[in-house]
Copies of this chain bind each other. A is one copy, B any other.
Amino acid sequence: MTPRIRTHIGLLGLTEAALLSAVSWEGQVSRRFLVERTGFSKSKVVAAIANLLEAGLVRESGPSESTGGRRSEQLTLHPDLGVLLAVDLGATSLDVAVLSLDMTPLASHHEAADVRHGPGPVMTRVKAIMKTLLARLALLPDDVLAVGMGVPGPVAFDSGLLVNPPIMPGWEGFSIRDDLAAILGAPVFVDNDVNVLALGELWAGRRFAENFLVVKVGTGIGCGIVCGGRIYRGADGAAGDVGHICVDPLGPVCHCGNVGCVEAMAAGPAIAKEARAAAESGESAVLAELLKSVGSLTPVEVARASREGDMVATAIIQRSGVLLGRMLASLVNFFNPSHIVLTGGISLMGPLWLASIRQSVYGRSLALSTRHIELRLSRIPDRGGLVGAGVLALNSTLEAAKARSL
């Protein structure tokens, strides 16, 4: 991106910023569609698009396929706007990618990481990988429009600082934004991993819904909330921390100190623990054999045992689904989402798990709330984090421009 273009983004009018945002979400779009989507008048849209073309922020990409009537010129973001840097930091993994403005990966890198080592070593790797990827594409730091990063802990979004991150000791108060800004001129946006996943789902479904939840089930359980088409973060940035909702007042003690937390009873470690107990007690011969051959039991083996007809494994999966469904039923009654999208490692356990969740949610939620609800698995389970980080970067940049132009 040229400095001229960066200046133009900084000086966008309200209408221009809103239209640029709409073009980015649609990918390719006609003026007529923009009128319908934004509610602006036709003359306002035509004038603002002329400004955006003049400033080099959008370009015309030729007429659309005919659907009868006059074919209209299609608009896309101008490639000179640059590329996006996306970072998906997990508890034990690090993914970095360079994305084009339509979230296509141009270059990417994956490696193991340990967030417990603190920001020093982790961020050193992030920056080194960024440099390598940009160099591989013959791009300069100035070609980066914005950076988006998801982290496995609560983030105060406005300051970009981590707040009390339970699995990220040493990161408290560390500014990822300042750290990355030191090597890049581009704006940096940081958010919690489930919020980033929710943005990825919004993108994959082209803003398919206004009010929905993305629930990640892995070692822990977290929830990204989309409210009115935007990520909802709560009063202290702690919204969506659903792993410690109680689903059984007589349940086991969780590491948080409370009893019956859904995370302690239905997430990965609980499933693995139950499977090992069933294997070691001789209750399930299939699981015992898998434990012997694989060396350990994870939800993957439990799902395999269930597919092979093992009743104990099937019961373990159903129990996880029922307990998760009980928690989700509370959210459905309260929030009345149109969709719940399930993602994370455990969501790969298969259709039985999903069916148990559905049954539990429908059984416990009110008719009006479940009349139209869609409860499904993510369609981008492997790349939700990187796509979401790219969307965070692009979206936040355009939102910031909109806010400045008020």
Q: Is there an interface contact between A211 and B240, defined as CB atoms closer than 8 Å?
A: no
Cβ of A33 within 8 Å of any chain B Cβ, yes or no, is no
Residue in B209, B239, B369 whose beta carbon sits within 8 Å of that of A334 in the complex: B239
Q: Is there an interface contact between A366 and B246, defined as CB atoms closer than 8 Å?
A: no
Expressed in whole angstroms, the Cα–Cα distance for A50 and B256 within the complex equals 58
Residue in B237, B239, B250 whose beta carbon sits within 8 Å of that of A335 in the complex: B239
Residue in B163, B212, B258, B330 whose beta carbon sits within 8 Å of that of A363 in the complex: B258
Instruction: Give A345-377 interface residues, CB cut-off 8 Å to B.
Output: 363-369, 371-373
Cβ of A228 within 8 Å of any chain B Cβ, yes or no, is yes
Mask of A199-235 contacts with B, CB within 8 angstroms, 1/0:
0000000000111100000000001010110101111
Q: Which residues of chain B are near A245, meaning CB under 8 Å?
A: 329-330, 333-334
Q: Is there an interface contact between B406 and A39, defined as CB atoms closer than 8 Å?
A: yes
Q: Is there an interface contact between A246 and B336, defined as CB atoms closer than 8 Å?
A: no
Q: Is there an interface contact between B334 and A331, defined as CB atoms closer than 8 Å?
A: yes
Q: Is there an interface contact between A366 and B227, defined as CB atoms closer than 8 Å?
A: no
Q: Is there an interface contact between A211 and B238, defined as CB atoms closer than 8 Å?
A: no
Residue in B234, B244, B336, B364 whose beta carbon sits within 8 Å of that of A336 in the complex: B234
Question: Secondary structure at chain A's binding surface: helix, strand, loop or mixed?
Answer: loop
Report which residue of A238, A245, A406 has the largest number of chain B beta carbons within 10 angstroms of its beta carbon: A238
Interface range on chain A: under 10, 10 to 19, 20 to 34, or 35 or more? Answer: 35 or more
Q: Is there an interface contact between B211 and A234, defined as CB atoms closer than 8 Å?
A: yes
Cβ of A242 within 8 Å of any chain B Cβ, yes or no, is yes
| A235-B334 CB under 8 A given contacts A246-B329, A366-B256, A367-B164 | no
Q: Is there an interface contact between A223 and B338, defined as CB atoms closer than 8 Å?
A: no
- Separation in Å of the A168 CB from the closest CB of chain B? 13
A/B interface sample: 30 pairs, CB < 8 A: A38-B406, A39-B403, A39-B406, A40-B406, A154-B368, A164-B367, A211-B232, A223-B334, A227-B228, A227-B232, A234-B369, A235-B372, A237-B336, A238-B368, A239-B334, A239-B336, A240-B336, A241-B333, A241-B368, A241-B369, A242-B333, A242-B334, A245-B329, A245-B333, A246-B330, A250-B250, A256-B366, A258-B363, A330-B334, A334-B335
